[in-house]
Amino acid sequence: MAAASSSDSDSGRAESSEASSKWLDAHYDPMANIHTFSSCLALADLHGDGEYKLVVGDLGPGGQQPRLKVLKGPTMLTESPLPALPASAATFLMEQHEPRTPALALASGPCVYVYKNLRPYFKFSLPQLPPNPLEQDLWNQAKEDQIDPLTLKEMLEGIREKAEVPLSVQSLRFLQLELSEMEAFVNQHKSRAIKRQTVITTMTTLKKNLADEDAVSCLVLGTENKELLVLDPEAFTILAKMSLPSVPVFLEVSGQFDVEFRLTAACRNGNIYILRRDSKHPKYCIELSAQPVGLVRVHKILVVGSNQDSLHGFTHKGKKLWTVQMPAAILTMNLLEQRSRGLQAVMAALANGEVHIYRDKTLLNVIHTPDAVTSLCFGRYGREDNTLIMTTRGGGLIIKILKRTAVFVEGTGEVGPPLAQATKLSVPRKTRLYVDQTLREREAGIAMHRTFQTDLYLLRLRASRAYVQALESSLSPMSTTTREPLKLHAVVQGLGPTFKLTLHLQNTSTARPVLGLQVCFLYNEALYALPRAFFKVPLLVPGLSYPLETFVESLSRKGISDIIKVLVLREGQSAPLLSAHINMPVSEGLAAA
């Protein structure tokens, strides 16, 4: 022990640059290829040799190749394929016999696979759920051909609408079918008993009757069927069954099964339910109004991370104690227990690549990681008591060891005014010119004001005049006369020397078509050539926009552009109904040549 502590202090001196950090970097492998959740990580002395191994229920890249991996130190000890994706991994002691090596349980689909000494030992399957009796009756009738597929379908639909017990997959699939396929489906499947199977969503362990660290534990399973099951550690029979209002996602337990225990289940409806030994239904309920992303019990306080980037503390009766906002989304959470100093804290891995460690609402430590951590656990690994194991989004593995000298001190975080208070305000500067202008305004303010007012009036006058003139000479592209309400706009396309000029003429009246209109172009004939400078417009149906196209050839080789005037006239009248001035672009084709 003395040797160990001295070597530790040596390493402390050697890494003086990292002296401020409480962690030693033991191992980092960005290519470890481990993709998993915190619930699928477990640390246990699997061989009873005092050397703790890491068990990983690995989902594989993209959730494709589920594997059971066992790591010893930084190296992979064994790796074996799994039949389905693991939902949860746990280690527990099954019986009192020596040697006391823990068994490993992997929950996957509807089964729990139990391994001893890393060899398959037992497979527990969830019992079949009772099928709906009405549905059963219907299929029995179908079997004896007493009922035709159509009636079967109607009856099944009736059950689906009302029944408490949901239909089996077989019936649901049948309801999806087309009329023609039904017959065959019924013939194929009618002889089979209908089944309803559920799957395990989460798993944890609960001490059987002793509180000791190495006491026998029961498995606690949460199922998709909104139930919690407690299994006997030896016979794998169901000792207790409790129902929840929603599907459990995370479980947290305390106490012993035979004495008194408390089960906390965070569920998919965003609520957290607390159950006790003698209750078949939840005793307390915490409504989060967000999805829980992690559930950790620290002493008597439940710490819940929500997907709204916050950490909440609740009493074991569901009363809210505190809330802390996180700088980023929480990805996963777990308990940090430093037994030698009696410290329990919560680790929360955040999406910004940090791991925050909290005791109650005070931040104890922040670990920066090269990639976002997606699963983590803390405990004895190898022969080192306080090891933190993290896997990252990219499949990397990080192992850190807490220095034996490290003490987490509260209040190292922010106290007093926030940092931002020290930064200076960036008040915009004013120039010398501004000051001069100010002085000038003071001297000649009255004159400036008067000049400005005079100019403003003149501007307004000019604008009104131009407006009146435009109205009088129908220069606007909108005709407001009641007889011919028209709208015109023009588009010029092309780079030149030939342009395409499109006029969009619209009759904006509600009901009356317009007939007998003509379009005339006025332009400088030295500059432009149009195939037709004058043409008739077809009947204009109200509301539709009529595109009238014509080509314009630019004749000038000097890059000059001019205005083309478009006049819309009524037959037999000299005053135009409306007009538009089109600013022709410079012919780029010529300019380039």
Partner 1 sequence: MAEEKLPSKTQVPASAESQKARQKKAPEFPILEKQNWLIHLHYIRKDYEACKAVIKEQLQETQGLCEYAIYVQALIFRLEGNIQESLELFQTCAILSPQCADNLKQVARSLFLLGKHKAATEVYNEAAKLNQKDWEICHNLGVCYIYLKQFNKAQDHLHSALQLNRHDLTYIMLGKIHLLEGDLHKAIEIYKKAVEFSPENTELLTTLGLLYLQLGVYQKAFEHLGNALTYDPTNYKAILAAGSMMQTHGDFDVALTKYRVVACAVPESPPLWNNIGMCFFGKKKYVAAISCLKRANYLAPFDWKILYNLGLVHLTMQQYASAFHFLSAAINFQPKLGELYMLLAVALTNLEDIENAKRAYAEAVRLDKYKMVEMAQKLGAALQVGEALVWTKPVKDPKSKHRTTSAGKPATLGSNQALGQAMSSAAAFRKLPSGAAGAQLQKPPSLPLEPEPTVEASPAEASGKMREK
Q: Taking contact as CB under 8 A, which single stretch among the options 169-177, 394-402, 460-468, 478-486 is the one that binds partner 1?
A: 169-177
Q: Please report, as a single letter, which amino acid is at residue 580.
A: A
Residues numbered 21-80 forming contacts with partner 1, rule: CB under 8 A: 37, 59, 62-63
- Residue 50: name the closest of 398, 384, 388 by CA: 384
Question: Residue 304 CA to chain centroid, in angstroms?
Answer: 19
The single residue among 423, 482, 510, 574 that binds partner 1, judged by CB under 8 A, is 423
At 574, the amino acid letter reads: S
Residue from 131, 292, 477, 576 in contact with partner 1 (CB under 8 A) = 292
Question: Out of 87, 216, 397, 399, which residue is the one contacting partner 1 (CB under 8 A)?
Answer: 87
| Minimum distance, C-beta of residue 409 to partner 1, in the bound complex (Å) | 21
What is d(CA 72, CA 336) in angstroms, rounded to the nearest whole number?
21
Q: Which two tokens stand for residue 354?
A: 């940090």
Strand ranges in 73-226 using DSSP code E only, listed in sequence order: 75-81, 88-92, 103-108, 111-116, 119-125, 200-207, 217-223
Query: How many Å apart are CA 528 and CA 520, to the nearest integer?
Result: 14
Q: Exposed (0-12), middle (13-18) or buried (19+): which is 440, by Cβ within 10 Å?
A: exposed
Residues 433-462 touching partner 1, rule: CB under 8 A, are 434-435, 438, 441-442, 445-446, 448-450, 452
Q: Do the bridges between strand 528-529 and strand 498-507 make them parallel or antiparallel, or are there none, so unpaired?
A: unpaired
Q: Does 427 bind partner 1 (CB under 8 A)?
A: yes
Looking from the CA of 83 toward its CB, the CA atoms found within 13 Å total 10
- Count the residues of the shown chain that bind partner 1, applying the rule CB under 8 A: 84
Contact string 365-384 vs partner 1 (x = CB under 8 A): ---------x----------
**Which 338-357 positions form the footprint of partner 1 (CB under 8 A)?**
351
Rule CB under 8 A: say whether 122 interacts with partner 1.
yes
* Residue selected from 140, 291, 556, 561 as contacting partner 1 according to rule CB under 8 A: 291
Window 226-255: contact mask with partner 1 (x via CB under 8 A): --------xx-----------x-x------
Which span sits near partner 1 by CB under 8 A: 9-17, 119-127, 257-265, 272-280? 119-127
> Does residue 322 touch partner 1 according to CB under 8 A?
yes
Contact pick of 20, 421, 482, 510 for partner 1 (by CB under 8 A): 421
Contacts for 549 with CB less than 8 Å, ≥ 6 apart: 500, 501, 502, 503
Q: Find the binding residues for partner 1 in span 490-549 (CB under 8 A).
A: none
The least CB distance from residue 281 to partner 1, in Å, is 14
Among 91, 202, 334, 506, binds partner 1 (CB under 8 A): 202
CA distances from 405 to 20, 79, 316, 498 (A): 11, 35, 33, 85
Residue 123 within binding range of partner 1, rule CB under 8 A: yes
**Tokens 């035709």 appear where?**
148
